[in-house]
Structure 1
Amino acid sequence: MAQSVVAGSNLFRGTGDDRQSVLPCNGRCNSFLFQSSFGWRAAALAAFIGLFSSTADAEVPIIGKVVSSLSAAKATRSSATELVSADTPMWHNDFESGWAAARRSGRPMLIFITSEDCRFCDAMKQNTLCDASIRSRLANGFVPIILRPDTNPNILARIPVTTYPTTLLAVPRGKVIAHRVGYQPPDRLHELLGLAPSSPN
């Protein structure tokens, strides 16, 4: 059963059984809220992450083959709903639902890997992800996914992330085409988003 949780001036929201409203912005952003995601998702994302073996901006492998088994394993479960607003991106808190939405919509994925006790992550959430131009661009042309070690421990234990936040850009077929490590101000995130093929704006 899908739900939409939007109260007051929340600018980011999510719907669906496997995620909830994220990133309430009241002029600034306070925190991300998540639900845990384990089991088959953990195994599939672990396989996906296993292919991501470098933190350099150079070459990152195709992940579609690994994650395609996800769809077969989860064929009976309804997938994530699409983006619903011109200025409010729908954040997915598990890779599978985000990847399914990206394949359905043809939109690239922005994967934001954060940590609960990370001041640079919090700063990026408040200053970058709550920026009106970033929100609009994500909502209108990308599938944003957010992953945290405390909610995705089995998966993120296998990613060679040395610094939080880490931001990945992947195309719908499953290839990570670019990534950035550390805090990214809005202009730098716009540059990263601009690397997506047929990127809007």
Structure 2
Amino acid sequence: MRYIVILIIYITVSFGSSDDNLTIHHNYRKALESAKEKNRPLFILFTKDGCRWCDRLKDNLMSVDELKSGLKSQFIVLFLNRDRDSYPKKFKIDAVPTVFMVSPKEEIFTEILGYHSKPRDYTKWFNYVKIEMEE
């Protein structure tokens, strides 16, 4: 049953659908264009197939209201598969999940390795990026 729920969430997210207006991109160039148009930073989550920590992080991002609203209001969200999707080489992904928060000019604000279970950790990073974007 758990695998069915994860599969449904993955399929919903994989097709760039929106969940309560949270659009999730799966193409780096298109997400970057959107970030430039809206002057918003990118929130890039790198995952790989079969990564349970990646699935947990996706679930938290989509189900914890505090995180979801922060992503909706502040970022262009991009989920990429480390092994299948194309992205710039400057993102060196040795472990997954890995999150990058990147300016519309492709300046890396922060890189977050691994799964962090506390939503507060992410809201701190969201606030840091917000301050950086204002400068």
- Per the shorter chain, which TM-score range? 0.7 to 0.9
Could you tell me which residue of structure 2 aligns to residue 60 of structure 1?
Answer: none
Residues 109 and 169, structure 1, Cα contact 8 Å, conserved in 2 = yes
Higher helix share: 2
Residue 30 (structure 1) aligned with residue 14 (structure 2): no
Aligned counterpart for 1:171 among listed residues 103, 121, 125: 103
Decide whether the 8 Å contact of 1:113 with 1:146 is kept in 2. Answer: yes
Note the C-alpha offset of 1:133.
1.4
Find the aligned partners of 1:100 and 1:158 in 2 and give their Cα distance. Answer: 18
Aligned 8 A contact 1:114 1:121 in 2: yes
Report how many residues are paired. Answer: 124
Kindly state the Cα deviation for residue 159 of structure 1 after the two structures are TM-superposed. Answer: 4.4
> Sequence identity of aligned pairs in percent?
20
The answer to whether structure 1 residue 139 and structure 2 residue 72 are counterparts is: yes
Which consecutive unaligned segments of at least 5 residues does structure 1 have? 1-25, 36-79
Paired residues of 1:149 and 1:156 also in contact (CA < 8 A):
no
Give, in whole Å, the separation in 2 of the partners of 1:155 and 1:172. 15
CA distance in structure 1 between the partners assigned to 2:129 and 2:23 by the alignment: 18
Task: Give the C-alpha shift of residue 150 in structure 1.
Answer: 4.6
Structure 2 partner of 1:95: 28
TM-score by length of 2: 0.76
> How far has the Cα of 1:156 moved from its partner?
7.9
d(CA) in 1 for partners of 2:56 and 2:103? 26
Relative to structure 1, the CA distance from residue 94 to residue 173 in structure 2 (aligned partners, 3 Å threshold; closer, same or farther) is same
Identify the residue that residue 128 of structure 1 maps to in structure 2.
61
Q: CA RMSD in A?
A: 2.9
Task: Report what 2:37 is aligned to.
Answer: 104
Distance in 2 between residues matched to 1:159 and 1:170, nearest whole Å: 11
The letter for the 2-side match of 1:136 is: S
Larger Cα-atom Rg: 1
Structure 2 vs 1, CA of residues 159 and 137 (structure 1 numbering), >3 Å: closer, same or farther? closer
